[in-house]
Amino acid sequence: MPRAPEALAAAVTDRGVPDRYAAPATPAHDRLADALADAIERIDAALETFYDRFPTPSSDDLAYGTTDNMDGWTTSFWTGLCWLAYEVTGAARFRDAAEAQLETFERRLHAGETATHDLGFLYTLSAVAGHRITGSERYRDVALSAADHLAERFLDAPGLVQAWGDLGDDDWTSGRMIIDTMLNLPLLFWASETTGDPSYAAIAETHARTAADHLVRADGSTYHTFQCDPETGDPLGGETAQGYADDSCWARGQAWAVYGYALAADYRSRAPYADLSATLGDYYLHEIPDDHVPRWDFDAPEPEIRDTSAAAIAACGFDELARRLPSADERVPAYRHAALATLESLTENYAAGPDADGLLTDAAYHRTEGDYDECCLWGDYFYVEGLVRATEHADWERYW
């Protein structure tokens, strides 16, 4: 049984917020609002091409290809961008596109890949967002079906949601969890909220605690993956799949953890999850360079290879964390500063030019397989979510 949240938070060394974030930020509201307007124009320009299809996960020479929705983990980030554009502008064409894509998410549950933890990514930004915005029971039914599939991936003995592979297969995926799952858990938390059935949230919280036990290191860094014996629950060890080394800290994974534990703090009303998010966030902030955009792995000997998608996720995570801490907590202005400084750097230094399909350059999907210095669909999504948060659209509520 994983430790209680209080014990988990206390077991990790907190480096504290770096001094450069101590002073309250001066929001560049107009500049960020202009960046949001530009991003929505870019989404609009892509709407015809990707009306009922989807961009590939990452670009090739800054151009996205097209893909269907039967496998992979990234298609919903395009749907999420359409929903964001609709909520900011009220323009029906964005809602029409998002709704046209729902059929593919329905079909995937019956005929596509479902043996993955990524159901949280896929159905939170499509069906849960659609239900929150429209109130349609069709969206709710699709999201609950996806939550049922995700809950089936929970392994009782180790107390985790297996990330990949068919359950019962004796291979590398067996009993393996990954840090990315922290952003898939909101689908389960939402399912409990909407049905009143506590079992979904119980699975999500148990996984969050197991992840803190095994994926979070004592110094506040994170493993990308960790394997447990699926029958006994015994811990077997941490490895990387996309980072530099098994004992390194993959920047995007750290960002997933910051945002994921801040969300868990809200869903479960548990302050220790916010404290753990802060500890993970402080590690992240100490490791990033002056322009607030991390190299792809904090321990990789390649400071010039960045990952803007990690920065965009982290910006949303720090904004969420600032909302979860008590308003009098002295860390709140620091985390707001970190979120705004990151978004301003992305806007000023990494916004893609007019010839690119994506919104941000210098994203690293999979550095060790040569996929970097491109646009990434999830980076585009979190960049726009961050801009919506920063420009304080009063009617917007997060989808996660």
Q: Evaluate if residue 301 carries a pLDDT over 80.
A: yes
For the stretch 334-372, pLDDT in tens is 999 999 999 999 999 999 999 999 999 999 999 999 999
Name the active-site residue from 52, 71, 118, 219: 118
Active site residue 52: no
Cβ proximity of 367 and 310 under 8 Å = no
Q: Which whole number is the average pLDDT over 99-117?
A: 95
Instruction: List all residues 6 or more positions away from 358 whose beta carbon is below 8 Å from its beta carbon.
Output: 59, 62, 64, 352, 374, 375, 376, 377, 379, 380
> What average pLDDT does the chain have?
95
pLDDT (0 to 100) of residue 23: 78
Q: What is the pLDDT of residue 157?
A: 98
Burial of 379 (0-12, 13-18, 19+ CB in 10 A): buried
* Catalytic residue list contains 118: yes
Predicted model pTM: 0.97
Q: pLDDT-based confidence at 265, cuts 50/70/90?
A: very high
Which of 14, 38, 148, 180 is the catalytic position?
180
Q: What pLDDT was estimated at residue 119? A: 98
Q: What is the CATH number of domain 5-390?
A: 1.50.10.10
Q: What is the mean pLDDT of residues 214-239?
A: 98
- Distance, in Å, from the CA atom of 294 to the CA atom of 387, rounded to the nearest integer, reads 19
Report the candidate in 214, 247, 220, 218 with the shortest Cα–Cα distance to residue 233.
214
CA end-to-end distance (rounded Å), the chain: 27
DSSP summary character for residue 2:
P
The answer to whether residues 227 and 176 touch, using CB atoms and an 8 Å cutoff, is yes
Residue 177: is its pLDDT beyond 70? Answer: yes
- pLDDT at residue 79 tops 80: yes
Distance between CA atoms of residues 313 and 305, nearest Å? 17
pLDDT at 163: 98
Q: Is residue 27 scored above 80 in pLDDT? A: no
Could you tell me if 163 and 175 are in contact, meaning their C-beta atoms sit under 8 angstroms apart? no
Q: Tell me: pLDDT of 12 over 90.
A: no
Q: Specify the pLDDT at position 28.
A: 79
